[in-house]
Amino acid sequence: MTAINEWIDGQVKANDVVLFMKGTPAFPQCGFSGQVVQILDYLGVTYSGINVLDSDDLREGIKTFSDWPTIPQLYVKGEFVGGADIIREMFQAGELQTHMAEKGVAKATAD
């Protein structure tokens, strides 16, 4: 396993919810990352936002790690959930909320 894969694996395991994104939660640098940030903020879950623009190794490494070609990528309790389209569809169907609850992800705020 490469150093970047080990680092990614560590982040995924250390945080209940991790979003690998372009930009930061406060300043998303692409529309898709921004959409997922809005959804997670709306759900009120605590998450770690990791800016893949900080490193070429990270930007390419996360695609290899998940075998998923696009960013953003959301991980919940160590499991890859999906990219922006999947997250948006799951949210609209109520599936993302259920998934978070089933995985025991605590909300930062009440509904």
80-108 per-position pLDDT tens digit: 999 999 999 999 999 999 999 999 997 76
pLDDT of residue 7 exceeding 50: yes
Report the alpha-carbon distance of residue 3 to residue 13 in Å, rounded. Answer: 15
3-state SS assignment for residue 29: coil
- The domain limits of the chain are 3-102
pTM: 0.94
Examine the pLDDT at 72 and tell me if it is beyond 50.
yes
pLDDT class for 1, splitting at 50, 70, 90? Answer: low
pLDDT at position 59: 96
pLDDT for residue 111 is more than 70: no
Considering the domain 3-102 in this protein, what is its CATH number?
3.40.30.10
Q: Tell me the three state secondary structure of residue 31.
A: helix
Q: Where are the beta strands (DSSP E) in the chain?
A: 17-21, 48-51, 73-76, 79-82
pLDDT digits (tens, 9 = 90+) for 15-49: 999 999 999 999 999 999 999 999 999 999 999 99
